[in-house]
Amino acid sequence: MAKTRVPVAMLGMGAMGRALAGALVDAGRPVAVWNRTPGRADDLVRRGAVEAGLRDAVAAGGPVVVCLFDHASVHETLAPVADGLRGRTVVNLTTTTPGEARELAVWADAHGIAYLDGAIMATPPMIGAPGGQILYSGSREVFEEHRELFGLWADAVYDGADAGTASLFDLAMLAGMYPLFSGFLHGAAMVRAAGITAAEFAARAAPFLAAMTGALPEMARVVDGGGSGDAGQSLDWTAAALDAIARASREQGVEPVPVEMVAGLVRRQVEDGHGADDFERIIESVRG
């Protein structure tokens, strides 16, 4: 278990980085913060954090937590101080692809750095509050050693030794979230054209969409079984329904871009002779 007085170096003071550092400061953990542009951590400094140059932050001891813009910025930041990281621990909470996470793990190993990758399933206000979750993969030793630290941010889940697994889960779940949100906004645009507020639409849409997620386990069973479920609504029927939604959207002066994306996946399977199959069949339209 990590010693609570071991300092933590936080690299990156964007909204998420500040939230992570703030939770540590609130818990009484010594924190050295760094950002490429100085001044982003003024509030944290007033609360007890120490703003430092990159080398000084890394030299503070304890784990080095990285929360930057992208994969390239992680390399640009860590490469110049790789010598000072030898024998140390890096926890990367930057959003990266699974392949990028694995590449960073290989780079870290080559420089004698213990590496743990993380994927934050939360917004900045959720850090340190109930409901947040951070997925980790890579070094189990690092995860276990700093589990107390991770618990200050959110529920910590270890997803195995493959450094790319946490980001795989993260981005796969976001792949479901963003189309859901864009679909909601599409629907809100449709009703607003008729003078109905987005708030009223949300009050109706939220329970409906929540109920629809109850179908996910059955969809997963069909996908994993490699077969077909009970096609109560065939792809032929779904294609017609999506066409109707698109026409209604245009009647309201709304471009049905999210609907047309789904319609294209459905159409591909119908054209391949699978119109009688259930909706799960469209997974074949996105598989490589």
pLDDT-based confidence at residue 229 (cuts at 50, 70, 90): low
Distances (CA, A) of 184 to 76, 122, 201, 246: 38, 20, 9, 14
The enclosing domain of 19 has a CATH number of 3.40.50.720
**pTM higher than the cut 0.85:** yes
What average pLDDT does the structure give for the chain?
Answer: 95
Closest by CA to 21, choosing from 43, 54, 4, is 43
Question: What is the tally of structural domains in the chain?
Answer: 2
Residue type, 126: M
Q: Report pLDDT digits (tens) over 94-128.
A: 999 999 999 999 999 999 999 999 999 999 999 99
Q: Are strands 8-11 and 155-158 parallel, antiparallel or unpaired?
A: unpaired
Q: Which of 162, 184, 212 is the last residue of a domain?
A: 162
Give yes or no: residues 16 and 157 share one domain: yes
* 100 shares a domain with 50: yes
Q: Does a structural domain hold residue 185?
A: no
8 A C-beta contact, residue 8 and residue 28: no
Domain that holds residue 219: 193-286
- Asked if residue 2 is part of any domain, the answer here is no
Tokens describing residue 16: 């998420």
* pLDDT tier for residue 73 given thresholds of 50, 70 and 90: very high
| Residue after which a domain boundary falls, among 162, 185, 206 | 162
Label residue 1 by pLDDT band (50, 70, 90). Answer: very low
Are 2 and 147 spatial neighbours (Cβ–Cβ below 8 Å)? yes
Q: Is residue 41 domain-shared with residue 129, that is, in the same domain?
A: yes
Quick one: pLDDT at residue 3? Answer: 54
Helix, strand, coil percentages in the chain from 3-state DSSP, rounded to 5:
55, 10, 30
The yes-or-no verdict on residue 2 having pLDDT over 90 is: no
Residues 49, 158: one domain? yes
